[in-house]
Amino acid sequence: MDFDKLIIVTNKQSQTEQPNYFLRNLKDNSTKAITAFADPQPGMRGIVKQKITYKRKDGVDLAADLYLPKNYDAKIDGPLPVMMWAYPREFKSAADAAQLRGSKYTFTRVGYGSIVFWATQGYAIMDNTEFPIVGEGDKQPNDNFVEQLTWSAEAAINKIAEMGVGDSSRVAVGGHSYGAFMTANLLAHTNLFKAGIARSGAYNRSLTPFGFQNEERTYWQAPEVYFAMSPFAFANKIKTPMLMIHGEADNNPGTFPIQSERLYNAIKGHGGTVRFVQLPFESHGYAARENILHMLWEQHQWLEKYVKKGGGMYVK
């Protein structure tokens, strides 16, 4: 950069353009490319990304990144099976929760944990689906955590069904860490989903008694909140098929592997449909090629068996 000459380095990208760096002269608005990175994932091209917005029943504005398969036409191909991926966040005002985050103009590029892969497999993907937990005034966000999860899930499913691109009877939900915790709660308290994927989550809040996420009250100060938010306490109600994945060496203090081990045993003991996969030597995030490929395989098998089998398969 040269501030005296008004020359700066900028990054440019779009849905179809790989991010690259440019020298931009602010005096004459000219640009010169200084990188020419090739597309690292050409198999993802053609996927259509949209930023969709909608409201839930209490009036809070929500949003999600919607990805649709290449060459998909809703009028010809009909509604698709849906995979919804999310991570709940707490807010003290509905206005803050409703802020639009992210952009529909970014280049689609996925990491190992992304669910966007499945847009290439005939699914409609709702990524970064907003699940805000709002507590205004004297109320704390977690005082009605499960109800707010339900409102957000219902609104998201209704939106994608109204658009004609998603089959409301074939929707899966999933998440990592606090998103896995969300997933287990949704499967315990609703019948909205055909399947769930929960990775590296915490499910018994008595095992995190001095607070968790943005919950500052201890177990002894708000035992009813800890109980109501623990899907382990409602394991007998989890009948929707759930795939649980956890790193065998997870050292995150809120998500020790015992969380998944105990919930798996509880669901299995009550006759629920559940599969538990431990990834050797992995911590809270996953790194080994073998484990990541196995994780992707497990997720694909679960979605194909319990979600897509409920209707036709989109192939083009």
- At 38, the amino acid letter reads A
pLDDT at position 2: 66
Active site (catalytic) residues: 177, 250, 284
Query: Average pLDDT, stretch 95-120?
Result: 86
Q: Are residues 4 and 115 in the same domain?
A: no
User: Above 80 in pLDDT, residue 61?
Assistant: yes
Query: Which residues, in sequence order, are CB contacts of 65 under 8 Å at separation 6+?
Result: 49, 50, 51, 52, 102, 104, 125, 126, 127, 128
pLDDT at position 316: 34
**Whole-angstrom Cα distance, residue 7 to residue 64?**
36
- Location of structure tokens 């005939």: 122
User: Above 70 in pLDDT, residue 23?
Assistant: yes
Q: Are residues 138 and 33 in the same domain?
A: no
- The answer as to whether 218 is a domain residue is yes
- The answer as to whether 316 is a domain residue is no
Q: What is the domain extent for residue 31?
A: 1-38
Q: Are residues 126 and 51 in the same domain?
A: yes
Query: Average pLDDT, stretch 61-74?
Result: 95
User: Above 90 in pLDDT, residue 127?
Assistant: yes
In DSSP terms, which residues pair with 49 in a beta bridge?
67
Q: Are residues 171 and 284 in the same domain?
A: yes
User: Above 80 in pLDDT, residue 97?
Assistant: no
Note the Cα 95 to chain centre separation in Å. Answer: 22
- The answer as to whether 200 is a domain residue is yes
- The answer as to whether 315 is a domain residue is no
**Whole-angstrom Cα distance, residue 266 to residue 258?**
12
User: Into how many domains does the chain fold?
Assistant: 2
pLDDT at position 314: 37
Q: Are residues 276 and 214 in the same domain?
A: yes
Closest CA to 174 of 185, 158, 159, 163: 185
Q: Are residues 32 and 55 in the same domain?
A: no
- The answer as to whether 202 is a domain residue is yes
Q: Are residues 71 and 202 in the same domain?
A: yes
**Whole-angstrom Cα distance, residue 126 to residue 228?**
27
- The answer as to whether 2 is a domain residue is yes
**Whole-angstrom Cα distance, residue 291 to residue 64?**
28
C-beta neighbour count of 201 within 10 angstroms: 25
- The answer as to whether 223 is a domain residue is yes
User: How would you list the strands of the sheet with 195-199, edge to edge?
Assistant: 48-55, 61-68, 124-129, 80-86, 166-176, 195-199, 242-247, 274-279
Question: Does the global pTM surpass 0.85?
Answer: yes
The per-residue pLDDT for range 197-210, each reduced to its tens digit, is 999 999 999 999 99
Arithmetic mean of pLDDT over the chain: 92
Query: Average pLDDT, stretch 166-193?
Result: 97
Q: Give 46-112 as a DSSP string.
A: T-EEEEEEEE-TTS-EEEEEEEE-TT--HHHH-PEEEEEEE--EEES-HHHHT---S-TTS-----T
| Local structure of 24: helix, strand or coil | strand
CATH label of the domain that carries residue 54: 3.40.50.1820
pLDDT at position 254: 94
User: Above 70 in pLDDT, residue 310?
Assistant: no
Q: Are residues 109 and 177 in the same domain?
A: yes
pLDDT at position 313: 39
pLDDT at position 312: 40
- The answer as to whether 187 is a domain residue is yes
Q: Are residues 154 and 115 in the same domain?
A: yes
Q: Are residues 82 and 11 in the same domain?
A: no
Q: Are residues 57 and 15 in the same domain?
A: no
The per-residue pLDDT for range 264-280, each reduced to its tens digit, is 999 999 999 999 999 99
| Planar angle of CA 103, 105, 106, nearest 5 degrees | 80
Q: Are residues 3 and 104 in the same domain?
A: no
